Structure 1
Amino acid sequence: MTQQFAERAANVAPTGARNADLDDLVRLLEDQDRLKLDVIVPAAAVRFREGNVRVEGIESQITKTGVTRVDGTYRPTAVADEGFADKLRIPLAYLRRMRAENAPLLDANVNAWLDKEPERRFLLRAFKGGAAPGTPPSEGVARAFLSDSYKLMDNLDLLLAALDGVTQAGHPTEVSGCDLTDRRMYVRIESKAVAVQAPTLLRGYRSPFDGRSGDQLPVISAGFVIGNSEVGSGAYTITPRAVVQVCRNGLTQGMDVVRAVHLGGKQDEGVISWSGQTQTKTLELITSKTADAVRTFLSREYLEAKVRDMEAAAGRELTEPTKTIEHVTKSLSISADTKDMILAHFVKGGQVTAGGVMQAITSTAQTLPDADQAAALEALAVPALTAAAAHG
């Protein structure tokens, strides 16, 4: 029974999306916004019971959606568990083992550490549970357990502000795909109007998906990824991303990322309701940052410079490709299963070069069903190019 409950509780997550279009993402974010509950709670008001988060002693609040009841039971996601482990300094592996094997011990450990500092305040991000009229509310979902100075920068507001910045930048763009997980939002934007020929980079390459040749379509277009986390898994980011047209591989340039971190002042106890002025200033900054980033990342000069940088290493012939891929994946902490997938994509791609390793990593990333894992792997493609060229 403990094992069954532990799996259910640990894997609860808000509805997500993989490779969705923009309209579907917006509808999903609007649905989530109606269920959000963000509250500053003292440690004394939080308890673990049977592996769930129980909030007690927080007054109901009148908000724009009506009376918001805070007290109740919330099933923690894996992200929320990570927050409890971090804030209470419980080793995460141990917390996960307790959840899987001994829920009463998990309750005892978490509650003992909460009792150490009963006045310490935290931000609990949750989804409210539903309820029929006249009945107690059902259990909700604990999305994250964060510092009380964590600044709320929600996906829907940031996305709309960022898209406004894209419009202000004046470049023709399209949204090529969106992902939403319990950790992060990813929105990929591309401008096919800003494209360059890259015959050296794509020489001898074949798409592992349909066999089309990079020699026949040696085109790379400019783009970027808008990313954000509502639950403490990273800042708001704008990351430049070149797109290989023959296979849709994405080459992200992590060294040039633009960030806006979620840091603010301490908040009072109770349900958080940001003032209109505070929210407006934050979103205006996001719009401005995005417009500036777009003007840079969607310039032909920027794209050409990045392609030249990659070409300098990509043509390095590999004398022992299998050993090179083994070295690269080990040095970048890529799992053995993923390494095997990369090797298969490398063989299909036909480029026995350092550039072929880079392309194999990005094409493998496209096939991963977990969007967080896919984004993390794609981010390693350019560092893998450098490592493969050095190894030879």
Structure 2
Amino acid sequence: MTIAAPLPPLTLRHATLDDLVDVLRAQHARKIDVIVPAERLRAVGTHLELAGTEPLVSEDGVTATAGRYLPTAHCDQDIATKLGIPAPYLRRTREEHPRLYEANINGWLQADPHRRFLFRALAGNGRTGIGRALLSNSYKVIDNLDVLMAALAGIKDSGVAVQIDGADLTERRMFLRVACEQIQAYAPDLVTGYRSPFSGADAAAHPVVFAGFLLANSETGDGAFTITPRLTLQVCRNGMTINRDVMREIHLGGRMDDGIVRWSADTLAKTMALVTARARDAVRTFLDVGYVRAKIAELSREARVEVAEPDKTIAFVATKLSFTKDQQQLILQHFIKGGAITAGGVMHAVTSAAQVLGDAEKAFELESRGVEAMHLAAAL
């Protein structure tokens, strides 16, 4: 079967829930998962080629799995990791010397021809598809669409009204920001002297924090399914993630035999029941005014600490947290606009800067370090 519809996008930024669901459904329709030995996998130029793999038979028809796939940047990273090739070198060979890219991959695949991998891909409009990940054959597949539907079911079961504060999709992960504006608390000490860098609104006039959490999942081997509590400032929608309270489900399972990966209905139902239960647990734990007030109290103790030398403080924080020079400059700009010369102001600068980054992965990494940035600034 040849799929005629256009290939779905691999990334989204600041998307609606409907947009996210539409893209995930389009990707799901093209999903190919194959356990393949190294002897049936080879590089041809800058593509990976599967040979002799069985077709995928579904209610939509028959889809060939044998053929060529263009690896994403994330898939290239997987290839480098699995074969012991330095990733920067492999990227360079792809860009500058495709024959070296081909020779390096094939040389290491041939060194252990019976080694098995889980290859995750999307069928293309013909014989060329997209290679998304090269994983261990013990990787437990937990797909984004299934996780999203199960988590939304858990939230609905809880009976608590929530708002979707935005969604992102990358080659590596899916993110869904959930806020609950009916669960809120005042946090005047957390926003002393702070104003929104986007609107200029004085946070002291609206010192409200909403409960919520961040749901994340990787179906390409880049981390567990997680639900992390996330507090949102009303005045600017800055998100403060409380990483130490994260709920996590690691993607590990038993080794799988060669061929198309087919999870039984019972296995899938049990996995999704666990995700639904985790979502209900998150609602019960994180969407609670007592929890929100306790976290505000913890954060406020350091947020009030004054920053004597903002330039040096932000440079120190950026170095400790491995921010890039561009990120450091952006954070400093947001710190100045925010007007709070405090450790809390540093945190708000980091989290507001994250909102304007076009790369969702970098935005996630930046926002997730906001509280840690405040701790570092307060300790100086």
Query: TM-score scaled by structure 2?
Result: 0.96
8 Å contact 2:54–2:260 — kept in the other structure? no
8 Å contact 1:46–1:56 — kept in the other structure? yes
Within the candidate set 120, 141, 144, 1:125 is matched to 120
User: 2:105 corresponds to which residue?
Assistant: 110
Taking the aligned partners of 1:25 and 1:54, their CA distance within structure 2 comes to: 30
The alignment status of 1:351 with 2:340, answered yes or no, reads: yes
Q: CA deviation at 1:301?
A: 1.0
CA RMSD of aligned residues (A): 1.2
Within the candidate set 284, 305, 318, 1:329 is matched to 318
Taking the aligned partners of 2:375 and 2:192, their CA distance within structure 1 comes to: 18
User: 2:265 corresponds to which residue?
Assistant: 276
User: 2:33 corresponds to which residue?
Assistant: 38
The amino acid across from 1:185 in the alignment is M
The alignment status of 1:23 with 2:18, answered yes or no, reads: yes
Moved more, 18-27 or 332-341: 18-27
Identity %: 48
Deviations 1:250-276 (A, max 9, x none): 001111111111111111111111110
Q: CA deviation at 1:102?
A: 1.2
Within the candidate set 60, 65, 73, 1:70 is matched to 65
Deviations 1:224-256 (A, max 9, x none): 011111101111110100000011100011111
The alignment status of 1:160 with 2:149, answered yes or no, reads: yes
The 5 Å alignment of 1:213-252 reads: 213-252=202-241
Q: CA deviation at 1:361?
A: 0.3
Pair 1:61–1:127, CA change in 2 (3 A): closer
Taking the aligned partners of 2:60 and 2:133, their CA distance within structure 1 comes to: 22
The amino acid across from 2:232 in the alignment is V
The alignment status of 1:194 with 2:183, answered yes or no, reads: yes
Moved more, 58-67 or 371-380: 58-67
Deviations 1:2-40 (A, max 9, x none): xxxxxxxxxx99432111111111111111111111111
Taking the aligned partners of 1:14 and 1:248, their CA distance within structure 2 comes to: 26
Taking the aligned partners of 1:15 and 1:262, their CA distance within structure 2 comes to: 21
Q: How many residues align?
A: 374
The amino acid across from 1:43 in the alignment is A
Taking the aligned partners of 1:191 and 1:64, their CA distance within structure 2 comes to: 39
Taking the aligned partners of 1:152 and 1:65, their CA distance within structure 2 comes to: 21
2:13 counterpart SS class = strand
Segments of 5+ residues of structure 1 without an aligned counterpart are 1-11, 131-136
Q: CA deviation at 1:60?
A: 2.3
The amino acid across from 2:254 in the alignment is G
Taking the aligned partners of 2:67 and 2:36, their CA distance within structure 1 comes to: 13
8 Å contact 2:8–2:26 — kept in the other structure? no
Q: CA deviation at 1:363?
A: 0.4
Deviations 1:100-132 (A, max 9, x none): 2211111111101001111111011001011xx
Taking the aligned partners of 2:300 and 2:21, their CA distance within structure 1 comes to: 38
Segments of 5+ residues of structure 2 without an aligned counterpart are 1-6
Within the candidate set 204, 208, 212, 2:193 is matched to 204
Deviations 1:123-182 (A, max 9, x none): 11001011xxxxxx2310001110011111001111010011111222221111111111
8 Å contact 1:14–1:182 — kept in the other structure? no
The alignment status of 1:183 with 2:143, answered yes or no, reads: no
User: 1:4 corresponds to which residue?
Assistant: none
Pair 1:276–1:162, CA change in 2 (3 A): same
The amino acid across from 2:72 in the alignment is T
Taking the aligned partners of 1:13 and 1:158, their CA distance within structure 2 comes to: 19
The amino acid across from 2:249 in the alignment is A
User: 1:382 corresponds to which residue?
Assistant: 371
Deviations 1:187-242 (A, max 9, x none): 11110111000111111101000100011001001000111111011111101000
User: 1:56 corresponds to which residue?
Assistant: 51
Taking the aligned partners of 1:61 and 1:193, their CA distance within structure 2 comes to: 47
8 Å contact 1:127–1:143 — kept in the other structure? yes
The 5 Å alignment of 1:353-372 reads: 353-372=342-361
2:204 counterpart SS class = coil
8 Å contact 1:13–1:77 — kept in the other structure? no
Taking the aligned partners of 2:54 and 2:189, their CA distance within structure 1 comes to: 65
Query: TM-score scaled by structure 1?
Result: 0.94
Pair 1:65–1:267, CA change in 2 (3 A): farther
8 Å contact 1:14–1:181 — kept in the other structure? no
The alignment status of 1:145 with 2:134, answered yes or no, reads: yes
User: 1:373 corresponds to which residue?
Assistant: 362
